[in-house]
Copies of this chain bind each other. A is one copy, B any other.
């Protein structure tokens, strides 16, 4: 095995998808899976699956495939999912924030919503779940993040709130942010940011609708889509 280079971001995301599929396979009692089968299910190229996994070691057996259980355990380790990751939601009084605060799917995947924040006095003090406790004022973010060892912040605030919270986030020392707010947060050396922009998702779909309206029953094989 030679010197490995850093895996692409896309590889990390696919690992997460492989993991979910492998968990299902294990429940069904499957012992072994080939890159062919894994790729087929997810509409990927088998070589890509093998490359993705090879970034992290040699997990397969030639002529056989990958042990479902062993591969699953490896991916859990690679993604750092053995331990519970504590999460806080900023903007917990809004619709999306509340929905995420009450969403139970995170716990199944080892993420625990452990604090809630908002700046609206009407919701501060409200209790949405036992684990997360009451909604706290945003000013308390740095202290509470440290007290409760929060590792990930989920942002669901309106656009104008960014000015108010950016410095507090940086002060908090948190290292990862999942941003649903309608502005792009840039990763820096201290904080990794994943941006999810619902408007952009809908607008990119609108673009494809417009393309079809414009009538491109095509001579050439187009395939404008991605994952």
Contacts and interface: CB of A to CB of B under 8 A. Distances in A.
Given A19-B203, A187-B222, A222-B6, A208 B175 contact: yes
Nearest to A225: B187
Contact of A85 (B111, B196, B206, B220): B206
Contacts of A98: 99
Nearest to A111: B202
A178 B205 contact: yes
A202 B189 CA distance: 19
A187 B220 contact: yes
A162 interface: no
Interface in A186-200: 186-189, 192-200
B151 A209 contact: yes
Contacts of A175: 208-209, 212
A212 B227 CA distance: 21
A220 B9 CA distance: 10
A95 interface: yes
A210 interface: yes
The copy count of this chain in the complex is 2
Chain A's interface size range is 35 or more
A9 B204 contact: yes
Contacts of A193: 222, 225
A80 interface: yes
Nearest to A193: B222
Contacts of A208: 175-176, 192
Contact of A195 (B189, B200, B212, B227): B227
A197 B16 contact: yes
Contact of A95 (B99, B178, B223): B99
Contact of A197 (B17, B95, B198, B209): B17
A152 interface: yes
A218 interface: yes
21 contacts: A16-B197, A17-B184, A78-B207, A79-B210, A85-B206, A85-B209, A95-B99, A95-B100, A151-B209, A152-B206, A175-B212, A187-B220, A189-B218, A192-B208, A192-B221, A192-B224, A193-B225, A194-B205, A194-B223, A196-B225, A226-B226
